[in-house]
């Protein structure tokens, strides 16, 4: 366990072997600039997140901090869990930039960049808002799908768009195809429009599929009105036999590997390899029949935000579903991102207790804290106990208990010799307790309930619109955060950020991708003019 200079860290990150680059800074700090391959794993939730992100205990790990010593503290926590090979970038993110390497703003960089590469290299067809409106005025037959999850669709969408999360359209095609005409796919910006359109076009060769250029943000920037509060209709049922046939054809066409449970067991036990198993079905299907073996990772979202599930570069990923089609599509995209992928179909027939072998985990965090009522916490704070609110900074601003100070695990105040009362969820407070006890707190209790419960109990909460100050609210990502709330300038800056990603890549970062040789233009010849590529 040692500090490594940025040049050595860069070399390791792009070497052929497995490695995890974990950024232990908080979400707001991460969003303002991080190494391209860094995966967010904030110190405030480190022990709760790392086992899923990095399931193999002997995989090499490189940590990123702000050059403030936080990585050393995180190393101690990870060692307690059994991780054996942990280093950190000497000087953190500032040193990375000083060495001449780019700190990328935003989140989900590898996935976002994939969308831009697909557009540039595969010439994926797209159309803008004016062309879509022209189709409508001409009463042309077409289908408009929103490729995001239902909750995002309900917030805002293009008027007339139907909720159809990416990866589901091909699986449910028989229920959709009778409407006929070309298909247009939108998201909130660019990535899921591009990836969703490209994926459906590959699933349905010859079908004209276009991305709606710049999604809902482009629609708003064109001066048009978005639809808000539209409830997503239930997804139509799939014809499983047709879905299986489509899966077999797609896997054969793109050289994807299908395995059985015995092979999955064998691969998971292979020394020196990290294997993930993820259920890519729609979340409602996973909830109705969950399997301990595979956490839910809806295919469209997995491709959009791979680093929320997969923390180890060059790992092996097994994708599971019922017919093989949704798993095959997700496997195809993850392969473009540089992962080894396999398809495991028939999840609905798995034994309920079947799971991949899992290494034993070290000490994660203490048992649930003893609790006190909010009213008692306020009284004890007046008598000298320290009342800390570990909820999100904006939740604190909106309403907190009288006398509570906002804090976060990386920046806990001095507590030696004092009792401490913590507001926040059970996991966050339990993890902060590790640090508080080491710092000399004589007792730590969690405050029962939440803000609404405190109000219901008759407590008058204090508000503080400017505290903590923006500079101290390191948990909140300010980078174009209000682009979906009417701030058109933020939308312009966000779209410019997405379109500028390719220009920021160096050769090593570009080399992480393994894009197949594909050209998507031919499928749109029949729609004539009106699309931009």
Report if residue 312 sits inside a domain.
Answer: yes
Confidence of residue 521 (pLDDT cuts 50, 70, 90): confident
CATH at 450 = 3.40.250.10
Mean pLDDT of 330-353: 90
Report if residue 355 sits inside a domain.
Answer: no
Helices (H) and strands (E) in the chain, counts: 23, 18
Report if residue 64 sits inside a domain.
Answer: yes
Please give the distance of CA 336 from its chain centroid, rounded to a whole number: 17
3-state secondary structure 424-493: CCHHHHHHHHHHHHHCCCCEEEEECCCHHHHHHCCCCCECCCCCCCHHHCCCCCCCCCCCCCCCHHHHHH
Mean pLDDT of 71-92: 97
Q: What is the pLDDT of residues 471-490, one digit of tens each?
A: 999 999 998 898 999 999 99
* CA-atom Rg of the chain in angstroms: 24
For 300, the token pair is 């469209």
Question: Does one domain contain both 177 and 218?
Answer: yes
Question: Does one domain contain both 392 and 298?
Answer: no
Mean pLDDT of 521-533: 61
Q: What is the pLDDT of residues 200-234, one digit of tens each?
A: 999 999 899 999 999 999 999 999 999 999 999 99
- The phi, psi pair for 521, rounded to 5°, reads -70, -30
* Residue numbers of the domain that contains 412: 371-472
405: pLDDT strictly greater than 90: yes
Determine the Cα–Cα distance for residues 247 and 171; give it in Å rounded to an integer.
9
3-state secondary structure 377-416: HHHHHHCCCEEEECCCHHHHHHCECCCCEECCHHHCCCCC
Question: Does one domain contain both 95 and 137?
Answer: no
Confidence of residue 529 (pLDDT cuts 50, 70, 90): very low
Report if residue 358 sits inside a domain.
Answer: no
DSSP letter (8 states) at residue 192? H
Report if residue 60 sits inside a domain.
Answer: yes
Question: Does one domain contain both 227 and 249?
Answer: no
269-295 residues labelled b (16+ CB within 10 A) or e (exposed): eeeebbbbbbbbbbeebbeeeebebbe
530: pLDDT strictly greater than 60: no
Question: Does one domain contain both 447 and 338?
Answer: no
Question: Does one domain contain both 252 and 342?
Answer: yes
Which of 50, 77, 105 terminates a domain? The answer is 105
Question: Does one domain contain both 420 and 521?
Answer: no
For 369, the token pair is 């804290």
Question: Does one domain contain both 122 and 226?
Answer: yes
Q: What is the pLDDT of residues 151-204, one digit of tens each?
A: 999 999 999 999 999 999 999 999 998 777 899 999 999 999 999 999 999 999
What is the DSSP annotation of 298-345? -HHHHHHTGGGT--SBT-EEEEE-SSSHHHHHHHHHHHHTT-EEEEE-
As for how many domains the chain has, the answer is 4
pTM of this prediction exceeds 0.75: yes
70 SS3 class: helix
Report if residue 480 sits inside a domain.
Answer: no
For 62, the token pair is 């490189």
Question: Does one domain contain both 119 and 227?
Answer: yes
Mean pLDDT of 74-79: 97
Report if residue 505 sits inside a domain.
Answer: no
Confidence of residue 523 (pLDDT cuts 50, 70, 90): low
Which candidate, 366, 375, 365, 398, places its Cα nearest to that of 447?
375
Determine the Cα–Cα distance for residues 62 and 404; give it in Å rounded to an integer.
35
Report if residue 361 sits inside a domain.
Answer: no
Question: Does one domain contain both 24 and 97?
Answer: yes
Q: Please answer whether residues 387 and 407 qualify as being in contact, where contact means their C-beta atoms are separated by less than 8 angstroms.
A: no
């Amino acid at each position: 366990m040692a500090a490594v200079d940025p040049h050595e860290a860069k070399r390791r990150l792009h070497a052929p072997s497995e490695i995890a680059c974990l950024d232990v800074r908080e979400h707001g700090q991460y969003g303002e600039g991080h190494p391209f391959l860094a995966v967010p794993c904030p110190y405030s939730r480190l022990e709760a997140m790392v086992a899923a992100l990095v399931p193999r205990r002997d995989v090499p790990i490189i940590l990123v901090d702000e050059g403030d010593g936080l990585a050393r503290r995180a190393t101690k926590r990870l060692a307690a869990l059994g991780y054996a090979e942990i280093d950190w970038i000497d000087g953190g993110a500032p040193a990375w930039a000083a060495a001449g390497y780019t700190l990328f703003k935003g989140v989900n960089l590898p996935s976002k960049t994939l969308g831009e590469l697909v557009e540039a290299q595969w010439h994926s067809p797209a159309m803008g808002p004016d062309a879509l409106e022209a189709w409508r005025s001409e009463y042309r037959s077409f289908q408009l799908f929103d490729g995001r999850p239902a909750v995002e669709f309900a917030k805002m969408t293009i008027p007339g768009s139907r909720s159809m999360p990416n990866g589901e359209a091909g699986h449910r095609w028989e229920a959709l195809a009778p409407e006929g005409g070309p298909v247009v796919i939108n998201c909130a910006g660019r990535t899921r429009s591009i990836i969703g359109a490209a994926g459906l076009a590959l699933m349905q060769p010859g079908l004209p599929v276009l991305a709606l250029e710049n999604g809902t943000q482009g629609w708003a920037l064109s001066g048009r009105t978005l639809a808000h509060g539209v409830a997503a209709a239930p997804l139509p049922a799939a014809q499983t036999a047709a879905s299986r046939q489509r899966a077999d054809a797609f896997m054969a066409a793109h050289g994807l590997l299908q395995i059985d449970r015995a092979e999955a067991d064998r691969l998971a036990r292979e020394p020196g390899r990290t294997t993930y198993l993820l259920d890519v079905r729609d979340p409602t299907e996973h909830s109705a029949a969950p399997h301990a073996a595979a956490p839910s990772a809806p295919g469209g979202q997995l491709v959009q935000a791979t680093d929320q599930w997969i923390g180890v570069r060059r790992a092996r990923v097994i994708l599971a579903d019922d017919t093989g089609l949704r798993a095959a599509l997700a496997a195809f995209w993850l392969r473009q991102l540089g992962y080894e992928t396999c398809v495991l179909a028939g999840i609905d027939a798995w034994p309920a207790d079947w799971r991949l072998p899992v290494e034993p985990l070290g000490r994660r965090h203490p048992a649930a804290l003893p609790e006190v009522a909010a009213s008692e916490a306020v009284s004890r704070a007046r008598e000298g106990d320290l009342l800390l609110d570990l909820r999100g900074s904006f939740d604190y601003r909106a309403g907190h208990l009288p006398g509570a100070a906002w804090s976060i695990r990386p920046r806990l105040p001095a507590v030696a010799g004092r009792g401490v009362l913590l507001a926040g969820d059970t996991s966050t407070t339990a993890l902060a307790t590790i640090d508080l006890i080491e710092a000399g707190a004589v007792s730590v209790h969690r405050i029962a309930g939440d803000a609404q419960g405190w109000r219901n109990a008759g407590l008058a909460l204090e508000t503080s619109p400017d505290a903590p100050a923006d500079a101290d609210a390191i948990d909140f990502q300010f980078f174009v955060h209000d682009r979906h709330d009417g701030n058109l300038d933020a939308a312009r800056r966000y779209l410019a950020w997405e379109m500028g990603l390719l220009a920021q890549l160096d050769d090593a970062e570009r080399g992480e991708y393994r894009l197949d040789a594909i050209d998507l233009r031919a499928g749109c010849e029949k729609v004539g003019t009106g699309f931009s590529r």
